[in-house]
Amino acid sequence: MHDDELITIKEACRLLGGFHYATYYRGVARGDFPAPVHPSPGISRVSRQEVLDARARIIAGARKTARAA
């Protein structure tokens, strides 16, 4: 498995903690998660590496918040 591969939104949600796809799209709208690309009509994919980078930012932010509390 390569980090630069394109994965489904379902797989991205699983990597980010297992939440619903609608939560993912709200994160896209806020700029928290990578926007999907559409390799063909009706197909949405995101970069695995960009999802992993977003997850790292979430974890770093949570750790920073925990230290401040």
Judge whether 46 lies within some domain.
yes
Read off the tokens for 26: 């709200």
Judge whether 12 lies within some domain.
yes
Judge whether 1 lies within some domain.
no
The model's pLDDT over 18-68, given as tens digits with 9 standing for 90+, comes to 989 999 999 999 999 999 999 999 999 999 999 999 999 989 987 777 777
Mean pLDDT for the chain overall? 91
Judge whether 29 lies within some domain.
yes
Structural domain containing residue 52 = 6-68
Judge whether 44 lies within some domain.
yes
| pTM for this prediction | 0.83
Which among 63, 19, 43, 39 is positioned nearest to 51, based on CA atoms?
Answer: 19
Judge whether 38 lies within some domain.
yes
Based on the structure, what is the number of domains in the chain? 1
Which among 30, 32, 29 is positioned nearest to 51, based on CA atoms?
Answer: 32
